[in-house]
Structure 1
């Protein structure tokens, strides 16, 4: 794609990087077939190709964002299916991230939109605040229908509906015993630590039984993904620096073999820290080292010699590959191979490349499009008649779980169960048949 960025615009390193990305686009349109918003809405400007044109026009002359551009960029899920499809290697992730930063700096959103985004940024990344907000949401849930009738307040209605009816108690985090050999850190996280702390607990139990020491360094916090995707760059980089500092202390102390991440959305962002902090001389090298060590839990488990499963389960598992897993981190087979190794019958979900509509805060900020994508995803899952749904991202678990009675759990919870750990809480009422009985 030809560009006409001004010399003044190109003096900004982020704009120069964006210009290089835009020039790689050859207008082929392969991305449109796999873009969830284009498939759903049928508007060229709601496709990656259309958005690339909008970003190019906005940034070539460093002009402020306008309402049209903001509307279509806001509708992007950042699912990155376009990057999997693109034959030219267009790094759409960096392009849309830069566009969102520019929008945040130059566009004056309507007051309700500003307030909702501020609320999300000041609550979701902070576990104590988030837990308090979810408890308060129980009181507000009866008013969701009223809020639905007021267009600017639809995101508030979506928040109330997504809030769980009860919260699990935060368990005392079991750290795997010290080992003379392998040692990893685990990301405690923010939203996941409130919505389902059992995920990390299952990870620590499983790795501990495999002889891996697991540490959770002091000073951890949110990875910054939630605010990063809202264009709040300073906040996102602040979270990133805090995590880099915490993990660097461990790396330079007793050392780390890997940084294990159980939320694939966080994993995609942390693996990009090297890029996000490349212009910060105090953090560029440390951030790149952290990104290199970051591994999804299934990506790390794949490197280990797992024993035979202690509790093989006769159950059909629909594996939902989160967008941040398959498109962001390019991890496709490892979770399914591990589940099969654990004794489960694994089935792919039809149209598995399409997003479920969660996408961080998307199901709050774009509730109508999100609901259409969720319903399409759930219909595809239910078509294959699974006993259990497994995925690697808490956002997908919340989104899909809100529209189906099929229990949904994190992949690592099933692996921990099969290899000698506790039965996942979400499967409390699920009674599998022993494999030996099923074979008779």
Structure 2
């Protein structure tokens, strides 16, 4: 695609990087078949190549973006399915992140939008505030239908995502048996409050594999939520704070993420702040170092939902189902597995109507597998899908922990009698 950036514009490294990405696009249209919003809406402006054209015009013109550009950029999930299918290697992540930052800097949004977009990072990236908000959310959950009828869809969507209360059990972070190494486990901001059982399962699995687990003091949000909102400076500040906290820990073999969205963000630190980190998704790392010995026991059938941030953002596709199969689970593929469930960071809050349609489509495809359990490697996907499915939704690391000697995931308790130890 041709561009017409001025030399002065190209002196900006962000503009230069985006111009290079735009020029790689040949408008072949391969991306349209895998773009969730184009599949739903059939609007060229809601396809990656359509958005690239809108972004090109917006960046070349500079200044306030058109309402059309804002509308269709906002509708992008950042699922990055387009990057998986793009034969030209377009760096769409660079383009969409740059576009959001440009809109944030040059567009004055309506007051309700500004308030919501300020509240999301102010609450969700700070565990203590999120904990209090979740308590209030549980009290207000009965109001969800009323809020939806009153046209307050974002607030109704927030209440729908509020999970039942859960606590982080006490677990040892020391390596079992011969110590093979030392890793940092990203604590995150949303996951510890929404699904604390995932961190506990990850620690048990990693220590059982022979690794000491370190929880770095002073670590905070990875920055993904802020970047999704176009708050690039805020995301960079969070990244630098984390880098300082990890440096204080000393040498480690890897920095492990249990939330796929966080893992994708950590692997983007080189682009964001110019410093790469040895980031690994927990499933990626366990696949590399080997699954601990499996305890013989009946295992339920599992529908593996591939989080977009894992399969597209990090290109981790074969490892999770392979590990689950090695652990004795009957793993079933989900039809249209490349399409997003609608969670996408905070998309299900900002775009609840489209997110709901994607969720229902994904839930129907998962139900069609007939699996007893759903495994999803991202806290957002788990929160998005749980209300729409009859089967329990757990993180794959919970299942792998259970299969290698850990406790059965609490969500599977109703089926315990049918899963007695095989003789």
Compute the TM-score of the two structures, normalised by the length of structure 2.
0.96
Distance 1:98 1:197 in 2: 33
Distance 1:147 1:403 in 2: 19
Q: Does 1:335 align with 2:320?
A: yes
Secondary structure of the 1:302 match is: helix
**Correspondence 1:80 to 2:80:** yes
1:304-323 alignment, distance < 5 Å: 304-323=289-308
> Among 396, 416, 438, which residue is 2:401 paired with?
416
- Match for residue 390 of structure 2 among 395, 402, 405: 405
Match of 2:236 in 1: 237
CA shift, 1:8, in A, is: 2.0
Distance of 1:312 and 1:321 partners within structure 2? 25
Tell me the secondary structure at the aligned position of residue 167 of structure 2.
Answer: coil
**Are 2:343 and 2:380, in contact at CA under 8 Å, matched by a contact in 1?**
yes
CA–CA distance in structure 1, aligned partners of residues 174 and 256 of structure 2: 13
- The alpha-carbon deviation at position 313 of structure 1 amounts to 2.8
* Superposed displacement of residue 312, structure 1: 3.3
Q: Which residue of 2 aligns with 1:37?
A: 37
Give the deviation of 1:55 after TM superposition: 0.3
Tell me the residue number matched to 2:338: 353
Instruction: Give 1:273's match in structure 2, choosing from 269, 272, 279.
Output: 269
The equivalences for 1:12-411 within 5 A come to 12-151=12-151, 153-164=152-163, 166-172=164-170, 174-177=172-175, 180-250=179-249, 253=250, 255-278=251-274, 287-288=275-276, 290=277, 293-411=278-396
Aligned-residue offset at 1:62: 1.6
SS of equivalent to 1:246: helix
Partner of 1:282 in structure 2?
A: none
Answer whether contact 1:185 1:216 (CA < 8 A) is retained.
Answer: yes
In the alignment, what sits opposite 1:283?
none
Using the alignment, how far apart are the partners of 1:188 and 1:2 within structure 2?
43
1-10 vs 392-401, which deviates more? 1-10
Q: Deviations over 1:337-360 (max 9, x none)?
A: 110110001111000000000001
- 1:174 touches 1:201 (CA, 8 Å); kept in 2? no
Mapped partners of 2:352, 2:192: distance in 1: 24
Secondary structure at the aligned position of 1:190 is classed as coil
Tell whether the 8 Å contact from 1:9 to 1:59 is kept in structure 2 after alignment.
Answer: no
Structure 2 Cα separation of the partners of residues 307 and 147 of structure 1: 48
RMSD over aligned CA atoms reads: 1.5
Preserved CA contact (<8 Å) 1:318 1:348: yes
Taking structure 1 as the reference length, the TM-score comes to 0.93
* Residues paired across the two proteins, number: 421
Q: Quick one: structure 1 residues 227 and 307, their matched pair in 2 at CA, closer, same or farther if it must change by over 3 Å?
A: closer
Q: How far is the alpha carbon of 1:307 from its aligned partner?
A: 4.1
1:402 Cα offset (Å): 1.3
- Specify every segment of 5 or more residues in structure 2 that has no aligned partner in the other structure, as ranges: none
Contact 1:314–1:435 (8 Å) recurs in 2: no
Change (3 A) 1:175 1:433: closer
